[in-house]
């Protein structure tokens, strides 16, 4: 298992953590999704602010 899968970012305070929950809220992965030129929904995700 790589270290990359263990780093999260708290959605509440923005701090990086190695725990899946921080500040009483779930933390999100700190890494962006893989790039794919065939991704039809990338434009909409960027407009929504999710990556």
If one counts the domains in the chain, the total is: 1
0.75 exceeded by pTM: no
Confidence of residue 42 (pLDDT cuts 50, 70, 90): confident
21-22 β-sheet, strand order: 16-17, 8-10, 25-29, 21-22
Consecutive H or E run containing 4: none
Q: Specify the pLDDT at position 1.
A: 47
Given a contact cutoff of 8 angstroms between Cβ atoms, the answer to whether 10 and 25 are in contact is yes
Alpha helices by DSSP H, listed for 1-51, are 42-48
Q: What is the CATH number of the domain that holds 24?
A: 2.20.28.40
Cα separation, 22 vs 41, in Å, equals 29
Supply the range of the domain harboring residue 38: 3-48
> For 3-22, how does the pLDDT look when each residue is reduced to its tens digit (9 = 90+)?
556 899 998 998 999 988 88
Average model confidence (pLDDT) across the chain? 81
């Amino acid at each position: 298992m790589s270290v990359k899968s263990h780093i999260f970012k708290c959605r509440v305070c923005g701090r990086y953590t190695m725990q899946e929950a921080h500040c009483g809220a779930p933390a999100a992965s700190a890494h962006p999704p893989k790039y794919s030129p065939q991704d039809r929904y990338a434009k909409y995700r960027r407009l929504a602010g999710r990556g």
